[in-house]
Amino acid sequence: MLAIRGAITVNNNTKPEILDASRMLLTEIITQNGINVDDIVSVIYTATQDLDQVYPAAAARDLGLTMAGLMCYQEMLVRGSLQKCLRCMVLANIDRKQSEARHVYLRGAITLRPDLISPDETKADEPNPVVPDPAESDSTAIGIDKVKSDRRERFVSIAIDGPSGVGKSTLAKALAKDLAFVHVDTGALYRAITLHCLNKGVKPEHKKTVVDVLSAICIEILYKDDIQRVILNGEDVTDRLRSPKISKATSRVAAIPEVRAKLLDLQRNLAHSQNVVMDGRDIGTKILPRAQVKIFLDASVHSRTLRRMCDLPGSDYDIVKRELEARDRDDLQRSVAPLKKAPDATYIDTTNKNFDEVFERALSLIKDRLRNHTLNI
């Protein structure tokens, strides 16, 4: 008998989200362990008390597990534990050593098992997939084989990359609102790691010491009123991430390969479970090389300096410009995942455009690319 565990988080306590997450978790457990569905004896789900809209085991029935024993329990309320979390235990009648079981932790739940955070799993610069023809894609048909292979294409990813101060996050946030997608600001994740280092007196230039503290860092993303919040070791640090000191130190911390590896799955898992507009430096090239739409935003240093100064009242032009140039150098010259336009990204120079013009250009590009796509919400 083999016992396999798994966990996943959901953003909202709604029936579709709970069922979708339950399905995804079970499918991953089955496929990663190469289990024959008929060998599954029982599936036990547990849910934290903030998830009460549906029994998650209904998803197992949808996947064809009609013979296995299915059960759901509500979890104890443990202070400080992950919220909106589903756990699953699959018992399969297989002759395999228990030590060979591959436990599965997805989305925010990956933070429960930092040891599972893996290095890159797909090649960068992979071409975009062909957008599926709705006539051929059956978004309601669910089957073990199909769910796994379709998982990455079922949700739409829009990747926005570009240098500091170009307005990526502002654009990504507005697009996400218009499209009812989730906005993922990946810079905030690197900033949170930097905040932890500075709090612990670790200097960003001391690479080894930064790497040493990584295992003590647990980062989660939550959404409150559709706004991304970054939780660092259980504490919401979102409002402390944008100081010039953090900005400066982050470009150093983000150049460390182990830091990037730590954040890789968190970013990918967010995109594999919902429609996202994700902004950063390596989203189109490295994190989501199969994103359906990729945009590379650019602008002159002069215009980015002026924009940045609007966010920092009383700041000095020369200082802001020098800092931007230093961050550009760090982002462009680092050896891992440097800032680079993906070959299939659309380049938008925003130097002489106002926000509305950039927004309209990006939105029409997205609508054009997704014309034939059936959205999963």
Q: Which helix (H) or strand (E) holds 31?
A: helix 15-33
Task: Indicate the angle between helix axes 244-253 and 187-199, nearest 10 degrees.
Answer: 100
Rounded to an integer, what distance in angstroms lies between the CA atom of residue 120 and that of residue 139? 28
Please report whether residue 350 would count as binding ligand DC according to CB under 6 A: no
Stretch that binds ligand DC, among 150-158, 176-184, 274-282, 291-299 (CB under 6 A): 274-282
317 has catalytic annotation: no
Q: Give 38's DSSP letter.
A: G
What are the strands of the beta sheet with 293-298, ordered from one edge? Answer: 182-185, 276-280, 157-161, 293-298, 346-349
What residue is closest to ligand DC based on CB?
187
Please report whether residue 191 would count as binding ligand DC according to CB under 6 A: yes
Please report whether residue 111 would count as binding ligand DC according to CB under 6 A: no
With contacts defined by CB under 6 A, how many residues of the chain interact with ligand DC? 13
Rounded to an integer, what distance in angstroms lies between the CA atom of residue 19 and that of residue 63? 11
Judged by CB under 6 A, which of 17, 220, 282, 323 binds ligand DC?
A: 282
CA distances in angstroms from 164 to 29, 180, 298, 305, listed in the order given? 39, 25, 9, 10
Please report whether residue 268 would count as binding ligand DC according to CB under 6 A: no
The residue among 6 and 165 lying less far from ligand DC, judged by its C-beta, is 165
Please report whether residue 331 would count as binding ligand DC according to CB under 6 A: yes
Judged by CB under 6 A, which of 183, 272, 308, 327 binds ligand DC?
A: 327
Q: Are 188 and 231 in contact (CB under 8 A)?
A: no
113 has catalytic annotation: yes
197 has catalytic annotation: no
Please report whether residue 9 would count as binding ligand DC according to CB under 6 A: no
Rounded to an integer, what distance in angstroms lies between the CA atom of residue 275 and that of residue 377? 7
CA distances in angstroms from 158 to 88, 98, 131, 174, 360, listed in the order given? 30, 40, 13, 13, 15
Secondary structure class of 183 (helix, strand, coil): strand
The residue among 272 and 327 lying less far from ligand DC, judged by its C-beta, is 327
The residue among 54 and 254 lying less far from ligand DC, judged by its C-beta, is 254
Active-site hit among 87, 304, 308, 334:
87
Contacts of 335 (CB under 8 A, 6+ apart): 255, 257
5 has catalytic annotation: yes
Please report whether residue 164 would count as binding ligand DC according to CB under 6 A: yes
The residue among 280 and 289 lying less far from ligand DC, judged by its C-beta, is 280
Please report whether residue 262 would count as binding ligand DC according to CB under 6 A: no
Q: Min. distance of Cβ 170 from ligand DC in angstroms?
A: 11
Q: Where along the sequence are the contacts to ligand DC (CB under 6 A)? A: 164, 186-187, 190-191, 250-251, 254, 280-282, 327, 331
Residues assigned a catalytic role = 5, 61, 72, 75, 87, 105, 113
